[in-house]
């Protein structure tokens, strides 16, 4: 177990490095630099002479070769220092720390809604004896996956904010202001969970041990909840862990649609202004959340299925079915 965890931590470090490097290269590939973007897009060009512009570039290290810029940023990032925002001059850690609670609140609520609603939909669809209801419920997940997130958000705002006036359309107005953004963000993930869990349940219900339980007189609901759901939940749990990254990425769209202050809006503004320190700080944070959640999911597997253990010699331990 210890070797497995250490190996996964090493893989996590590799993922963080790759995310940091790719984000740096993509931003560097864009024409210009953050200082030039600020000067041409917002600052008074008459108030800044070329010497001042060059001084600002030197202050942030944009006058150095790309490799030296990368090594400088990477060295500071390894110490947890992502520098200051080029656009605002504020420390990146402070900006992320202030926006983080709102984004965690949104993604956490969306994840709970996705798992609960998606799981309930899959269980009801595979448990019902009414064929028309099963077909109808099983057709909902593909629809939820195919509908664009921004369109769902706009429709929810139109119906529940502008027409019914039940929930606020914009802002961070407490619990009421969280309902529509969380629902918008949860639909795609919930549809994925429902689709995977429903297929897994249908396969599990044909297993011999389920047939044996049915032959002994166990009811449909008992078979689903006690015998089939625990084993069928493994693929859905994997999908839920993977979709955490999708939730963080989807927060960019949702927070923009609903004008919420969070990491999504900070990221959108930073990309538009080529604010490299902010973008890299947010990217590394998102990658860290992704690898941490997936590590937790891997460690939960043995609790759901006792057959999953760490086996093999000390040098070649791996997760497998025994």
Residues whose CB is less than 8 angstroms from the CB of residue 206 and which lie 6 or more positions away in sequence, other chains included: none
Quick one: tokens of 224?
Answer: 């689903």
pLDDT digit string, tens, across residues 66-77? 788 888 888 888
Could you state, in order of their start, the residue ranges of all structural domains in the chain? 2-78, 95-272
Distance between CA atoms of residues 84 and 60, nearest Å = 9
pLDDT of residue 319: 41
pLDDT of res. 166: 81
pLDDT under 70 in the chain at which residues?
A: 1, 30-49, 52-53, 60, 171, 301-322
Alpha-carbon distance 81 to 93, whole Å? Answer: 7
Kindly report the three-state secondary structure assignment for every residue of 259-314. Answer: CCCCHHHHHHHHHHCCCHHHHHHHHHHHHHHHHHHHHHHHHHHHHHCCCEEEECCC
What was the pLDDT predicted at 54?
72
Residue 307's pLDDT is 61
The predicted structure's pLDDT at residue 200:
87
Distance CA 229, CA 233 (A): 6
Contact status, residue 90 vs residue 84, Cβ threshold 8 Å? yes
Q: What is the pLDDT of residue 206?
A: 81
Give pLDDT, residue 240: 78
| Helices 276-304 and 2-29, packing angle to 10 deg | 150
| pLDDT for 1 | 65
Classify each residue of 66-85 as buried b or exposed e, where b means 16 or more C-beta atoms within 10 Å of its C-beta.
eeebbeebeeebeeeebbbb
pLDDT at 321: 37
The per-residue pLDDT for 316 is 37
Model's pTM, two decimal places?
Answer: 0.73
Strand pairing category for 308-311 and 318-321: antiparallel
In the chain, where does DSSP find H-type helix?
A: 2-29, 34-41, 50-60, 66-78, 92-127, 131-146, 149-156, 176-204, 208-215, 220-222, 229-257, 263-272, 276-304
What is the per-residue pLDDT for 311?
46
| Residue 197 near residue 137 (C-beta atoms within 8 A) | no
Assigned token pair, 144: 């939820």
CATH number of 95-272: 1.10.3720.10
């Amino acid at each position: 177990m210890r070797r497995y965890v250490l190996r996964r931590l090493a893989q996590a470090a590799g993922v963080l490095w790759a995310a940091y490097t790719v984000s740096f290269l993509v931003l560097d590939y864009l024409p210009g630099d953050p200082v030039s973007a600020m000067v041409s897009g917002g600052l008074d060009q008459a108030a800044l002479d070329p010497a001042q512009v060059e001084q600002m570039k030197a202050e942030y290290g944009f006058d150095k070769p790309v490799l030296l810029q990368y090594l400088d940023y990477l060295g500071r990032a390894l110490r947890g220092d992502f520098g200051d925002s080029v656009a605002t001059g504020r420390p990146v850690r402070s900006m992320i720390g202030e926006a983080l609670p709102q984004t965690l609140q949104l993604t956490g609520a969306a994840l709970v809604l996705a798992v609960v609603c998606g799981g309930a939909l899959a269980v009801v669809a595979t448990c019902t004896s009414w064929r028309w209801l099963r077909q109808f419920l099983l057709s909902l997940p593909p629809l939820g996956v195919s509908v664009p997130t921004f369109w769902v958000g706009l429709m929810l705002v139109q119906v529940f904010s502008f027409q019914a006036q039940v929930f606020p359309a914009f802002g961070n107005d407490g619990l009421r202001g969280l309902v529509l953004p969380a629902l918008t963000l949860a639909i795609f993930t919930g549809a994925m969970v429902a689709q995977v869990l429903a297929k897994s349940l249908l396969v599990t219900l044909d297993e011999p041990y389920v047939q044996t339980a049915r032959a002994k007189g166990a009811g449909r609901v008992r078979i689903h909840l006690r015998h089939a759901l625990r084993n069928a939940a493994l693929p859905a749990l994997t999908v839920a862990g993977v979709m955490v990254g999708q939730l963080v990425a989807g927060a960019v769209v949702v927070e923009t649609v609903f004008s919420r202050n969070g990491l999504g809006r900070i990221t959108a503004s930073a990309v538009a202004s080529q604010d490299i320190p902010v973008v890299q700080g947010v990217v590394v944070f998102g990658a860290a959340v992704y690898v941490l959640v997936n590590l937790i999911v891997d460690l939960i597997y043995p609790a759901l299925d006792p057959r999953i253990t760490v086996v093999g010699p000390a040098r070649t331990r791996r997760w497998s079915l025994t």
